[in-house]
Amino acid sequence: MSVAAVRRLVILGKQGAGKGTQCELLVERYGVAHISTGDMLRAAVAADTPLGRQAKEVMDAGELVSDELILGIVAERLEAPDTAAGFLLDGFPRTEAQADGLFALLAPHAVSRAIDLDVADDIVTRRMLDRGRADDTPEAIARRLELYEAETAPLRRLFADRGVLVAVDGLGTPAEVHQRIVAAIEAAPSSTVSAIEAAP
Ligand code: AMP
């Protein structure tokens, strides 16, 4: 058990649940690669690449970019050498097809923890309206919450079936929430997964 755990983390949570802040803290703590599909898409939009042009309208409307496109960019990103030390997936997977794609991409490895950052709808809605990003119109926010419930919330079961889901209360200061997440990540059974993977 001397092998340091390679952390392959997923963070689930609605927009405005505090994923961005928590991801920064986790990346600093564990030295994992931060893979945010939203950030990658926004960068593509800003650079006006073909991908960005394809994604922009969909994003502005609060809809989901196609699974095929998302799986393509994630597959490419997971090939970068920095992911060998572990990674944190943020905003992905968002649909069952994306989750299936992820499990296939990672095999024979597994996700070590999926953190479900839980904050109620009315609170995230207020936070998003307050932060005032250009794509945060009331209509787009409502649509994203609806899609979260329909497409992403069911993924909890897939991760629970694999024994890696942990629910974390997202209310509190960033430091408090971070401590809860760390406790959830470091509790068994992730060491079991690493021990199995490290076996000759
Ligand atoms: P985010 O910053 O993660 O909230 O993503 C912003 C927007 O990018 C979303 O509202 C979607 O339109 C799109 N997007 C980001 N990640 C995904 C994903 N995994 N699947 C589909 N669309 C995504």
Greatest alpha-carbon pair distance for the chain in Å reads 54
What share of the chain in percent tops pLDDT 90?
Answer: 84
Residue pair 16/127 in contact (Cβ under 8 Å)? The answer is: yes
Q: How far apart are the first and last CA of the chain?
A: 13
Q: How far is the CA of 196 from the centre of ligand 1 (A)?
A: 33
Domains in the chain with CATH codes: 3-33+89-198 (3.40.50.300)
Render pLDDT for 149-189 as a digit per residue (tens, 0 to 9).
999 999 999 999 999 999 999 999 999 999 999 999 998 65
Q: Token pair of 192, please?
A: 């079991």
Q: How far is the CA of 59 from the centre of ligand 1 (A)?
A: 7
The whole-model pTM stands at 0.90
Q: How far is the CA of 6 from the centre of ligand 1 (A)?
A: 26
Which residues have C-beta atoms less than 6 Å from ligand 1? 15, 37-38, 41, 58-59, 62-65, 70, 91-92, 94, 98, 144
- Which SS3 state, helix, strand or coil, does residue 144 take? helix
Render pLDDT for 130-150 as a digit per residue (tens, 0 to 9).
987 877 889 999 999 999 999
Render pLDDT for 29-81 as a digit per residue (tens, 0 to 9).
999 999 999 999 999 999 999 999 999 999 988 899 999 999 999 999 999 99
